[in-house]
Amino acid sequence: IRRNPGQPEFHQAVEEVAEKLIPFINENPKYLDASILERMTEPDRVISFRVTWMDDEGNIRVNRGHRVQFNGAIGPYKGGLRFDKSVSLGTLKFLGFEQVLKNSLTTLPMGGAKGGSDFNPKGKSEAEIMRFCHAFMTELYRYIGKDTDVPAGDIGVGGREVSFMFGQYRRIANEYTGVLTGKNLAFGGSNARTEATGYGSVYFAKEMLAVRNDDFNGKKTVVSGSGNVAQYTVEKLIQLGATVLTVSDRGGFLHDPDGIDAEKLTHIQQLKNVDRVSLGEYVKKDPGATYTEGQRPWGIKTDLAFPSATQNELDEKDAETLITNGCILVCEGANMPSTNKAVKVFEKNKIMYGPGKAANAGGVAISGLEMTQNSMRLQWSFEEVDEKLQGIMKKIHAKCMKYGQEDGWVDYVKGANIGGFVKVADALLAYGVI
Ligand code: NDP
């Protein structure tokens, strides 16, 4: 805490990982003797910069940008960019630290990073978003490259923003390389990248259910968020036979007791991706549904829960409510949506709990495959990529089982943390004192 003051989310992420890793490290003294955990909790490099841009009224605005290149032991740095007013260095350090373990779990050669800005995209015009993205990349471009560091999207950074940034990179670096992922299909994007995090999270849950010979058929499900991850989580859940009862946004949550079907999902996508308005608008068209302001969906009776909005959106009390209401599985599309105390409740009750670093790794895995396709200068079909995604989620699940299987229960947190750690730790050991 003295070393990293004012970074509570970073402390939270490290604490959760260290708790599971320390017993393993004690059993494997080669990691202890080489101070591997100390090395892995210190970023390789933190870059901060000013982003100056002009709003539509001609005012000059100043934001702060960061890139945290956390650990590059097993490949080029890889991880998303977040544009949100809440972004601080501590947020990006927590995300970058988690990303190192997640990327290792995917089995692909990618180091971990995260970046972003405290720029608030809410209420900004398209022209302002473009000017900000161009200004952001004008500074970031000197630190990234296809073999060095390959950023992607995250909260507030979708296809539109990636396109603005890629256009600016291409222009100022005078090179056409896969320096960002999540690109448009017309200029180097991968099929199924948009869907990958949400689909991957559902594929991971499918594997978890299969351990108990169970599946999605007829299962009631609550999802939080209504952005990229949530939308494709809902789509895949519907396809696999679950009934999705909720989605949410910053203002509250939407509950549709009849279930959100494919047509209703299209309506939600129109509201969030095109009109960029509150989910509250949904009930105008579907009066059977309700929008509850200022609340999250964890009080709705459900079998399965997919937190897919943001960090710390599910606390101890929510965890208890979910379990009292009969929830048997929690699968995290978002990064660290459950507080550490909520995780303890899941563990105490031995429900199936898939932590984000394993369950939402499908997005970065397909980003990794976007890099592969860019290097080969070809594009695989949607079906091909989707099949690879399913294979990768299976492998991640198997790795979690390998390190996390206990008597009659799987500790996925332990499995994911140790599974992600070993590969990076072994690379650091092999490199010597680095
Ligand atoms: P989007 O920006 O597309 O969507 C974010 C969603 O979460 C929106 O519905 C937003 O509401 C809601 N939200 C954001 N902040 C808050 C908050 N403080 N309280 C309540 N709701 C909030 O982001 P993504 O879907 O891409 O990301 C969601 C989560 O998934 C993040 O934790 C991200 O790190 C993680 N993730 C994303 C990956 C990806 O490929 N995109 C990969 C792996 C993890 P509103 O509509 O009101 O803004």
Task: List binding-site positions for NAD(+).
Answer: 197, 228
Q: How far is the CA of 252 from the centre of ligand 1 (A)?
A: 14
**Paired sense of beta strands 290-293 and 220-223, if any:** unpaired
**Paired sense of beta strands 220-223 and 304-306, if any:** parallel
Q: Is the CB of 363 under 6 A from ligand 1?
A: yes
Distance CA 66, CA 48 (A): 4
Q: Where a domain ends, among 354, 385, 402?
A: 354
Residues 239 and 329 in one domain: yes
Report the DSSP beta bridge partners of residue 54: 60
Distance CA 245, CA 298 (A): 11
Determine the pLDDT at residue 100: 98
Residues 165 and 242 in one domain: no
- The 10s digit of each residue's pLDDT in 233-261 is 999 999 999 999 999 999 999 999 999 99
Residues 223 and 92 in one domain: no
Nearest CA-CA partner of 83 in 7, 20, 153: 153
Q: Is the pLDDT of residue 1 over 90?
A: no
Distance CA 246, CA 222 (A): 5
CATH number of the domain bearing residue 312: 3.40.50.720
Residues 204 and 162 in one domain: no
Q: Where a domain ends, among 131, 151, 177?
A: 177
Q: Is the CB of 366 under 6 A from ligand 1?
A: no
Nearest CA-CA partner of 258 in 291, 292, 286: 286
Residues 248 and 337 in one domain: yes
Q: Evaluate whether residue 136 is within a structural domain.
A: yes
Q: Is the CB of 41 under 6 A from ligand 1?
A: no
Report the DSSP beta bridge partners of residue 413: none
Q: Is the CB of 389 under 6 A from ligand 1?
A: no
Task: List binding-site positions for substrate.
Answer: 78, 99, 102, 153, 367
Q: Is the CB of 154 under 6 A from ligand 1?
A: yes
Q: How far is the CA of 155 from the centre of ligand 1 (A)?
A: 5
Q: Evaluate whether residue 133 is within a structural domain.
A: yes
**Residue 105 region by backbone torsions, left for phi larger than 0, else alpha for psi between -120 and 50, else beta:** alpha
Q: Is the CB of 81 under 6 A from ligand 1?
A: no
Catalytic residues: 114
Q: Where a domain ends, among 149, 177, 205?
A: 177
Residues 57 and 170 in one domain: yes
Determine the pLDDT at residue 61: 98
Q: Evaluate whether residue 407 is within a structural domain.
A: no
Question: How many domains does the structure of the chain reveal?
Answer: 2
Average pLDDT taken over every residue of the chain: 97
Determine the pLDDT at residue 109: 97
Residues 228 and 170 in one domain: no
Q: Is the pLDDT of residue 202 over 90?
A: yes
Residues 131 and 69 in one domain: yes
Determine the pLDDT at residue 287: 87
Q: How far is the CA of 227 from the centre of ligand 1 (A)?
A: 6
Residues 211 and 310 in one domain: yes
Q: Evaluate whether residue 169 is within a structural domain.
A: yes
pLDDT band at 23 (very low <50, low <70, confident <90, very high): very high
Q: Evaluate whether residue 250 is within a structural domain.
A: yes
Q: Is the CB of 252 under 6 A from ligand 1?
A: no
Determine the pLDDT at residue 341: 97
Question: What is the residue with the minimal CA distance to atom 45 of ligand 1?
Answer: 249
Residues 77 and 206 in one domain: no
Q: Evaluate whether residue 277 is within a structural domain.
A: yes
237-242 long-range contacts (CB < 8 A, ≥24 apart) are: 237/202, 237/306, 238/262, 238/265, 240/202, 240/206, 240/215, 240/216, 241/215, 241/216, 241/217, 242/216, 242/217, 242/218, 242/304
For residue 192, give the DSSP letter: T
Quote the domain boundaries for residue 266.
194-354
Q: Is the pLDDT of residue 48 over 90?
A: yes
Residues 283 and 140 in one domain: no
Mutate which of 310, 366, 393, 396 for ligand 1 pocket (most atoms within 8 A of beta carbon) = 310
Q: Which atom of ligand 1 is nearest to the CA of 251?
A: 47
Q: Is the CB of 370 under 6 A from ligand 1?
A: no
Determine the pLDDT at residue 134: 98
Q: How far is the CA of 434 from the centre of ligand 1 (A)?
A: 35
With contact defined as beta carbons under 8 Å apart, do 192 and 276 qualify? no
- Give me Rg for the CA atoms of the chain: 21
Mutate which of 228, 314, 338, 389 for ligand 1 pocket (most atoms within 8 A of beta carbon) = 228
Q: How far is the CA of 382 from the centre of ligand 1 (A)?
A: 24
CATH number of the domain bearing residue 154: 3.40.50.10860
Task: List binding-site positions.
Answer: 78, 99, 102, 153, 197, 228, 367
Residues 341 and 209 in one domain: yes
